[in-house]
Amino acid sequence: MEITSVCPYCGKEMRDGAIPVLRDIYWCPRGEDGMLKDGFGDEKEQVWLGRAGLFGGDTPARYCESCKAVIIPVSEIEWPLDKLDKKFTAWQEKISAQREERKAQREEEKREEKSRKRREKDPWEV
Ligand SMILES: [Zn+2]
């Protein structure tokens, strides 16, 4: 869905603005028991709208005065922290790939060493 400044409910123009991020804000689903699923275990279900702290600031949002509704286009936002996460993940993947490569290399060397020893072995020895 394209995000425009038109209210999806009444079709009127929405006011441009932002929500100041003074502390972490996120959306999370409500479980069948009526409780918000915002525990650490359900962290993946959280939709971050704003993260306070290092990169505090504001979250762009639009407000419809006739519907009294605020729309926060999540997809527009890429958080510096997520960028860092991605960088970190890419870095980790690189490291583990290098580690795998080295491991494969070492195994190759071991194999060569073994076959060299076998070749050097006295053929009369049983
Ligand atoms: Zn509206």
Q: What is the DSSP string of 30-86?
A: B-TTS-B--SGGGGGG-EEEE--STT-EEEEEEEETTTTEEE--GGG---HHHHHHH
Q: What is the pLDDT of residues 16-60, one digit of tens each?
A: 999 998 888 888 888 888 888 876 555 567 788 887 765 568 888
11, pLDDT greater than 60:
yes
66, pLDDT greater than 90:
yes
CA 86, distance to chain mean position in Å, is 6
Q: Find the 72 Cα to ligand 1 centroid distance in Å.
A: 14
Q: Find the 15 Cα to ligand 1 centroid distance in Å.
A: 10
- Mean pLDDT throughout 116-123? 77
The pLDDT of residue 77 is 47
Q: Find the 68 Cα to ligand 1 centroid distance in Å.
A: 7
The mean of the pLDDT values for the chain is 81
The rounded distance, in Å, linking the Cα atoms of 5 and 18 is 13
If you compute the radius of gyration of the chain from its CA atoms, what whole number of angstroms results?
Answer: 28
Q: Find the 96 Cα to ligand 1 centroid distance in Å.
A: 51
Q: Find the 30 Cα to ligand 1 centroid distance in Å.
A: 25
The pLDDT of residue 21 is 87
